[in-house]
Homo-oligomer: A and B are copies of this chain.
Amino acid sequence: MGTLTETRGYAIGQMSKRTGVNIETIRYYERIGVMPAPDRTAGGNRQYNHDQLKRLHFVRRSRELGFSLGEIRALLEMADRKDFTCGEVHEMTIGHLASVKEKIANLKKLERALSGMAAECSRGDVPECPILDTLFEPG
């Protein structure tokens, strides 16, 4: 039965496979306090429970969305204490969205600059290149 599996919990490798988070990274999350210290087997191996699995999913999904571990810690602390409001979470999300938009804008500038440089390049076999020339310019 699944019940037995549940009471035994998940080994770190199981957690890794289920969430896609690297084993080393899971231990790292524990070290920095993003994940709690789990139970241990008699021999000292980590044994996670279902809540901890959900928590690790949360961390991974948030990281994928570009939240920093600091932001994730803040979100998790609110969720742990249950003292958050939906408005607070919304605010954090909007703030993060703004920084994502800014990053996109900056990268688009880069994209234009790189395309421009590449377009002016003859791609020839010659040892002179407008790209390098541009980069050596002071302005």
Hey, which bits of chain A sit against chain B, CB under 8 A? 18, 54, 57-58, 61-62, 64-66, 75, 79, 82-87, 89-90, 93-94, 96-97, 100-101, 103-104, 107-108, 110-111, 113-115, 117-118, 121-132, 134-138
A122 contact from B62, B79, B86, Cβ within 8 A: B86
Pair A132/B79 contact, Cβ less than 8 Å? yes
A124 contact from B85, B100, B108, B111, Cβ within 8 A: B85
Pair A85/B126 contact, Cβ less than 8 Å? yes
Query: CA–CA, A125 to B84, complex, Å?
Result: 8
Query: CA–CA, A137 to B82, complex, Å?
Result: 18
Pair A58/B135 contact, Cβ less than 8 Å? yes
Known: A84-B127, A111-B100, A118-B94. A58 touches B89 (CB 8 A): no
What B residues does A62 contact at CB under 8 A?
A: 135
Pair B121/A65 contact, Cβ less than 8 Å? no
Using CB atoms, name the residue of chain B closest to A118: B93
A57 contact from B64, B130, B132, B137, Cβ within 8 A: B137
Query: CA–CA, A103 to B104, complex, Å?
Result: 8
Pair B58/A90 contact, Cβ less than 8 Å? no
A89 contact from B83, B87, B129, B137, Cβ within 8 A: B129
A100 contact from B58, B86, B114, Cβ within 8 A: B114
A132 contact from B64, B89, B104, B117, Cβ within 8 A: B89
